[in-house]
Structure 1
Amino acid sequence: MAATTPAAAPRHSCAKLSVAVEDPKAAAAAGGGAVFVRATWLPTRFSLAVTDGAGAWVADASDAEVRLRAEQWDQPVAEYLALADRYLAFHQPDSTYSFHDAGKGNRRLSWTFEKQGTKLEWRWKLQPSPNAQQTISEILDFLMDANIRLSEEVVRKTQSFDKLKQEAEKCLQQSERFNNEKAEFEQATFSKFVAVLNSKKTKLRQLRDKVAELESADKPPKEEEEENSTDRTEQFEGGSDKEASVNDEPSETGSGDHHSSPEKSAATSQGRGRGRKRAKK
């Protein structure tokens, strides 16, 4: 036994269409040239219920009729139904709608559209509703339910928007607080870093001064020793030269130095004796 696929659930729509009227005076007295079209859409067919507030008309497009219309327009059934849904579920400003008498109490609903630069017109014939009051009531009930659903949706969207707005404000406040805390943290960290850096600089400066003091304390003694040793050497050498010059050079008077040593006196006397011997010869 083949498994049966569940039938697709019907989808409903209702639109207010501005239509051209045959008698503008009668239309103005009836409330203007507008009709409410309630449609029930199925995968291969659809049905219509139309009211102008005074009467009601219905049309039931069967599968065979929809398929025949689609073949006449060289379209698949799904494309034909999608195009009909577009113009009957929502009022299209670029389309011209009309709702005229078709005789015997029937009405003809038509609308225009463009395809490949050509203006085309679709028409569907509607019959008077067997129970006009019930049809009008069903259309009004659908409109009221749709209005209630839209109102509830608006309320939910508004509440959701308000909630999102409050959350956005909270996020903004948190972001500002985080930015302030971040700035304070960075400032505190920078201050501590500067303090540590200055402390290190001071410590390095102290160590450098201490090293310089130690070097200066070690260097002067060596220089003084070198200078003292140099002065002593010069004094010693200078004194010997003077003594040598004084002892070696005889005085002009010919008298010997009273402070000369006996050895030097003996040498001098011997020299004189030799001179006398040479003179006697």
Structure 2
Amino acid sequence: MMRKIKIAATQMECTWNTDENIQKAEELIRQATGEGANIILLQELFETPYFCQQQKFEYMKLATPVENNKAILHMQKLAKELQVVIPVSFFERTANTAFNSVAILDADGTNLGIYRKTHIPDGLPYAEKFYFSPGDTGFQVWNTAYGKIGVGICWDQWFPEAARCMVLQGAEILLYPTAIGSEPNLNIDSKPHWQHCMQGHAAANMVPVVASNRIGTEIDGTEMTFYGSSFISDHHGTILKQADRSTQMVLVQEVDLDQNATERREWGIFRDRRPEMYQTIITHGK
């Protein structure tokens, strides 16, 4: 039995014109669909520049409820038209709380639900704790028209526990919308480390990984250059498709979910887990 689908990663530059950003995202989705993609990942917070470089109360006004978010409403129609799955990253407002969230849009346009970013970074230029509360949804898996997906958001991608939680719940693909680039305060290039970490999640859990990052230089008092390098890895952690650091791109890759599942069973890594021996993960550092 074969269950072959095509997964896609995109990357693009964002401006303060939200409508233009949404239109650009639509163009990338249509391009991916033209290449046969079934599940298409957009980058983190693509409606605007990455406003978390600065701590500004005025940017808190960017948050919207799920039902009023422009990108979600637009992409629901597009998902239904093209019969594709689109996780949509957005700045969510609910009552008096704000989250860094993703709406999971199925291939009929239905919003299957919301994941709220669990791990929130702090420290410039990633001052996200100023804007977002830690997510309260827990790690979830979404049974879409084309397979079961798990979605983490940017900083979540550095935590192996998050990936394992999603795969234990049946995720067949892990997707990570991202906004990462230059580190003005650290003076390092984190791109290789960033990729290697997610490749490790793919290899350890034997599922493909899709990462979509933004590109371009954004200046807002400080300056950040996002390094793109969006990629798709196979279930062994090997990068199959990779974008460059600066070009708007679409990556599409076919995967066989049933073959991957067979290999996971044959390899025995989930059979041989010993959860009762892992209590240090829970208790250490409390």
TM-score normalised to structure 2 length: 0.21
Largest Rg, 1 or 2: 1
TM-score normalised to structure 1 length: 0.21
Work out which structure has the larger RCO, using CA pairs closer than 8 Å and 6 or more positions apart in sequence: 2
